[in-house]
Amino acid sequence: MEHAKVKFEFPVFAQVAAGFAISALVMIGISGSIYKLIAPQGWVVQAFGHSFGLGAALLAAVLGAAAVVWALPGRKPVQRARVSDAVVYSFAAAGLLYLGQMLALGSV
């Protein structure tokens, strides 16, 4: 008699709950990163002093260059998917860090 391999699948509710949790962590990570970037004592002020115009221009230039490199046609879709997954899970990890700081310290 042959034994059929039974593939274990998580229940639908667990999949929905995990997807919601990761989505919430990604949103908290993006929001926390934006807050840390533009806060009065945030990363831009720490890097460029109080010259917000210079900091914003440099940040826009870096983001523009990253967008151009991202859109180059020579990249394979598999590589693009890996980079996208890494960025999403990095924001989820940052969201977990920000949430932990907020619960432990009361502020980010």
Q: Is the pTM of this model over 0.75?
A: no
Exposed e or buried b for every residue in 42-81, given b needs 16+ CB within 10 A?
Answer: eebbeebeeeeeebeeebeeeeeeeeeeeeeeeeeeeeee
* Residue 9 CB contacts under 8 Å (≥ 6 apart), including other chains: none
Q: What 3-state DSSP class applies to 76?
A: coil
Whether 3 has a pLDDT exceeding 90, the answer reads: no
pLDDT of residue 2: 65
Closest CA to 32 of 81, 82, 90, 75: 90
Query: With contact defined as beta carbons under 8 Å apart, do 95 and 26 qualify?
Result: yes
Q: Which of 107, 89, 95 is nearest to 27 (CA)?
A: 95
pLDDT above 70 covers a percentage of the chain that reads 83
How high is the pLDDT of residue 4?
66
Task: Give residue-wise pLDDT tens across range 56-107.
Answer: 777 788 888 888 877 777 666 666 678 788 888 999 999 999 999 989 988 7
